[in-house]
Structure 1
Amino acid sequence: MVDEDVAPDTDDVERVRVAVYRTFAATGHPPTRDAMAEATRLSRPAVEEALTALAAARHLVMDDDGRIVMAHPFASIDLHFSVKGRRALWWGGCAWDSFAIPNLVPEEPEVLVATTCPACGRAHAWVVTSHGPPAGEQVAHFLVPAARVWDDVVHTCGHQRIFCDERCVEDWLSATGHSRGSVFDLATLWRLAAHWYDGRLDSPYVRREPSEATAYFAGVGLTGAFWGLPD
């Protein structure tokens, strides 16, 4: 029987985190529990404890059945973006995450990101590389402010989308009744994604503190209350 008052070993948690992320990066899918146990040499109960700890620390998102839904920038569900590399095909967790993958996975420095405009349904695709932003007049619209991202992270990621232009953003806001969030160009989206996940496939990995996150946003040109910064 597992003692629920005893926290899992931090080394075990980190080993499971690395197994999840590296499997996602290599295959486009999360590992099974058996695969995690084999890769980490941990028991199934120890793997479960580690996954629970990782979800609590916001390294993973799991559904009510314990399935891994997201390990940013990777997802196991369709959140409107596909990301095709030479060796793997991923669901991108959102616009931000989709543009991050070629910057995070060294074996895939160039990917094809595809999506549709939420307003008009027009298909869009870009070759996104680790060297610089793709050309395009499209704009990203993020609905949920940075401070509220984890209130419902799947909802948040599902509303970090790319639109044809500002007019499509306004049409969508009018149709849905949502308030305008943050709108910015593809170059800014690429800068946001480029180094946000640095080190996530390595070990040990240390998450940014809130002050470091806001400094990062400012450094890529995102300011204002939406991003927790002055205008």
Structure 2
Amino acid sequence: MRVEMLIVPDCPNGPVLRERLELVLAGRTDVELAEHVVGDQAEAERRGMHGSPTLLVDGRDPFAEPDAPAAVSCRLYRGADGRIGGAPSVEELRRVLGVPGGADRAAGRAGRGRLAPAEGGLREVQQAVLRSFAATGAPPSASEVKSAAEPFGVPAAEVLAELAAEDFLTLDDTGHVQAAYPFSAIPTEHVVQIADGPAVWSMCAIDALGIPVMLDTAAVITSTDPLTGEKIRVEFTDGKTTWQPTTAVVYFGARPGSGPAAAVCCSYLRFFTTRATAEQWSGRQADLSGAVLDQAEAERLGADIFGPLLSTPAR
């Protein structure tokens, strides 16, 4: 598959489309990505450009209206939620490029998702750990983990070790739960106040956005822009989400290499007050790749990854 970006000089939305394409196509070796700067109307007509930026997939513009004229003007895209933007969303790019399982890959488990298998007590123990965090803000006691694993005839320590090996949770040097995505037992900058429940720490921004959906409850997320120190607040209530400031975004990034999400990407999934601060901060990080997600994209990602974790029966 050949994917081409067509932009005019200094197009402000060219970098937005490029970083979203790099995120969607990460790890794909069968895709050739090219970028062309179009200088005039004649070249726009020759290349099939319908405004800047234009995406061509094997020579076709999947977002163009029938009989849309060639143009070198700025282009706007309307998302499925009705929002207008200067580039297609990550979700829309996945759709037109035929890239499935974007949320699973984002979860850091190579497309396998965050829900543990039911076999061997893995899901039972995972869900027991998650419910303990949701109810108390802390992982379960050793006896509670033992009770969850006991019906399967497997020692609790073995179940925890397997869950850690498959990156469903992390353990400290003594074998105690240190984190269970989306929760952290260690303080982080992302605090989620659960309605009628405890305040909990999340592993990252996407994890924080997934907690209210996973628990089907109202909640208030507070975090900090790592560049400016300004506060960010996201409130889930009555089926609505309110962001403060209204310009806030999420940066979704990862460093190269393998390992648990806690080590590879959690430090790079962060809230920012504006796209500008997210881009400035990410530009200072060596070997970091990723994309700035708007609010709707970040919310969908959190919901897709964490929404099913407690709604899917353990057996």
* TM class, shorter-length: 0.7 to 0.9
Q: Greater strand share, 1 or 2?
A: 2
Question: The residue matched to 1:199 in structure 2 has which SS?
Answer: coil
What do you get for the CA RMSD once the two structures are aligned?
Answer: 2.8
For structure 1, the residue ranges without an aligned partner over 5 or more in a row are 1-8, 206-231
Q: 1:158-209: per-residue Cα shift (whole Å, max 9, x none)?
A: 210011112212332344445452101112111111232233124338xxxx
Alpha-carbon shift at residue 129 of structure 1 (Å): 4.1
Q: Structure 1: which amino acid aligns with 2:229?
A: G
Q: Matches of 2:119 and 2:286 in 1, distance apart?
A: 44
Give the drift of 1:94.
0.8
Q: Does the 8 A contact of 2:167 with 2:260 survive in 1? A: no
From 185, 188, 198, the equivalent of 1:79 is 188
Task: Tell me whether 1:110 sits opposite 2:223 in the alignment.
Answer: no
With 59-68 and 49-58 compared, the bigger mean Cα shift is at: 59-68
Q: Deviations over 1:19-61 (max 9, x none)?
A: 2122122222111212222455469981101111111222222
The alpha-carbon deviation at position 83 of structure 1 amounts to: 0.1
Cα distance change, pair 193–12 in 1 and its aligned pair in 2 (3 A):
closer
1:143 aligns with 2:253: yes
The 5-angstrom pairing of residues 170-181 of structure 1 reads 170-177=279-286, 179-181=288-290
In the comparison of the two structures, how many residue pairs are matched?
A: 193
The separation in 2 between residues aligned to 1:91 and 1:149, in whole angstroms, is 26
Mapped partners of 1:149, 1:98: distance in 2: 24
**Structure 2 vs 1, CA of residues 31 and 130 (structure 1 numbering), >3 Å: closer, same or farther?**
farther
The TM-score with structure 2 as length reference comes to 0.54
* Higher Cα Rg, which structure: 2
CA shift in 2, pair 1:27/1:44, >3 Å: farther
Q: Tell me what 1:49 maps to.
A: 158
Matched residues in 1 for 2:175 and 2:210: separation? 26
Shifted more, 194-203 versus 128-137: the winner is: 128-137
CA 184–43 in structure 1, closer or farther in 2 if over 3 Å, else same: closer
SS at match of 1:188: helix
Q: Which residue of 1 aligns with 2:270?
A: 161
Measure, in 2, the Cα distance between the counterparts of 1:179 and 1:191.
Answer: 23
Residue 227 of structure 1 corresponds to none
**For the residues of structure 1 that align with 2:218 and 2:238, how far apart are their CA atoms?**
7
> CA separation in 1, counterparts of 2:257 and 2:185?
19
- Cα distance in 1 for residues equivalent to 2:307 and 2:283: 37
Conservation of the 8 A alpha-carbon contact between 1:19 and 1:40? no
Contact 1:79–1:157 (8 Å) recurs in 2: no
Distance in 1 separating the partners of 2:242 and 2:148:
37
Percent of aligned pairs with the same amino acid: 26
2:29 matched residue in structure 1: none
Separation (CA, whole Å) in 2 of partners of 1:161 and 1:80? 9
Q: Which moved more, 1:10-19 or 1:115-124?
A: 10-19
Q: Distance in 2 between matches of 1:164 and 1:133?
A: 16
Counterpart mapping for 1:1-20 below 5 A: 10-20=119-129
TM-score by length of 1: 0.72
Of 140, 143, 146, 1:34 maps to 143
Q: Compare 92-101 and 125-134 and name the one that shifted more.
A: 125-134
Is contact 1:134-1:187 (8 Å) kept? no
Structure-2 change in CA distance of 1:190 and 1:130 (3 Å): farther
| Gapped regions of structure 2 (runs ≥ 5) | 1-117
